[in-house]
Structure 1
Amino acid sequence: MGHHTKADLTVIRGMADGLKHVHTAFKEISKLNERYEDDLGHGDLSHAIGEFADNWDKSREELMGEVDTMAKIAKAAAEAYDDIDKQLAKALREAKEPKKSHKSGKGK
């Protein structure tokens, strides 16, 4: 027996949309150290928080790129599955249709 592949395109498209929302959330997060700079003062804690925030900003940029790539892959996968489904349905319809012959009915 053949193997069947089943893809829930609604879930895949939802995943792409969800990843876009994650990307947007990361993009809209302001720099952490700027939010609390006045509260932290100018000591070691402020320096440590500043380093953490700088590292977070770099990591956030990397995560944004990866999340964006994953969103694009999920969207492309849903589109590809949808296209394959349409092509297979067309092929099945055409296979079921009787072949039209081009007999002229005269002398051959």
Structure 2
Amino acid sequence: MGDEGDHTRLDLEVIREMGIGLSNVKKAFDGLDKLSGTYGDDFGNGDLADKFEDFAKNWELSRKKLTDEVDSLSKIAKAAAKAYEEIDHQLAEAIRGAKDPKTAKKGK
């Protein structure tokens, strides 16, 4: 039974780290410069510059959607880790109270 607690603790750490990692991904996406209007003159060809401009506009929209989703997942992972940790703490307190009747009586 001791192994189960170790797995639970490890999973909480993985969830917490996932939330932090996703926050870092969001920050990286937020830090990317806008592509539209930046490189048009560098292509030398009007059609190629127009295609790149279309790509850049689509990328900005897609990046915004992706950033929002990553941010939501990050918040969910962090909240889940916190909730599981609180439940774990409450269960530990309940077990301690069940093992020590004096403590259980003091809590009432």
Q: Give the shorter-chain TM-score range.
A: 0.7 to 0.9
4+ residue stretches of structure 1 with deviation over 3 A?
A: none
Query: How many Å separate the matches in 1 of 2:70 and 2:28?
Result: 11
Structure 1 stretches lacking a partner, 5+ long:
102-108
Q: Match of 2:8, SS?
A: coil
Q: What is the one-letter code of the residue matched to 1:84?
A: I
Aligned residues: 98
**2:41·2:49 contact (CA, 8 Å) conserved in 1?**
no
Which protein has greater RCO, CA pairs closer than 8 Å, 6+ apart?
Answer: 1
Whether 1:55 and 2:58 are equivalent positions in the alignment is yes
User: What is residue 14 of structure 1 aligned with on the other side?
Assistant: 17
Q: Following TM superposition, by how much is the alpha carbon of 1:13 offset from its aligned partner in structure 2, in angstroms? A: 1.1
Query: Deviation digits for residues 23-81 of structure 1, max 9, x if unmatched?
Result: 01111111223442231135110000000100000010000100000000000010011
Structure with higher helix content: 2
> Please, what is the CA RMSD of the aligned residues?
2.0
Structure 2 stretches lacking a partner, 5+ long:
none
Give the percent of matched residue pairs that are identical in Structure 1 and Structure 2: 51
TM-score, normalisation: structure 1:
0.81
Q: 1:66 aligns with which of 45, 69, 74?
A: 69
